[in-house]
Amino acid sequence: MKQEIRVTNSEWYVMNCLWEEYPRTLMQLVPLLNERVGWSKSTCATMVRRMSEKGLIGYEENGKTKYFFPKVKKEDVVVQETRDFLQRIYDGSIGMMMSALVRQNDLSREDIRELQEILREAEERQ
């Protein structure tokens, strides 16, 4: 069984920067994170250190510079977060979630077509 991957809201910001492009140095991450969430250099350094210790990101050293890279795939994190969300909010029921979205008229025609295609593909795999 795969290990559960837990990413906090703050960690998502760093992960997104690294999923977009890696490796990146701390000094490359600082302006991105400052622009996106207003973090200072020390906040960025603390996050990167904690995430390295947690195993979410790794680094290679070249001289005194560390080049950071993601150690987890975005797809794996998204799947885990989606499962957690479904379980927490809808008791694991995709049907309850879809029903809530439909009742709120939050689905466009394009959303409906896309969902129908996803369901057709899932049915064919069964």
Alpha-carbon dihedral angle through residues 83, 89, 95, 100, given to the nearest 10 degrees: -140
In order along its 126 residues, the chain shows pLDDT tens digits of: 456 788 999 999 999 999 999 999 999 999 999 999 999 999 999 999 999 999 999 999 999 999 999 999 999 999 999 999 999 999 999 999 989 988 888 788 999 999 999 999 999 999
CATH domain 1-92 topology:
Arc Repressor Mutant, subunit A (1.10.10)
Longest CA span, the chain:
58
Write the CA distances from 18 to 5, 34, 35, 64, 87, integer angstroms: 16, 15, 15, 20, 28
pTM of the model: 0.80
First to last CA, the chain: 22
Both structure tokens of 26 = 């701390």
Distance CA 73, CA 82 (A): 14
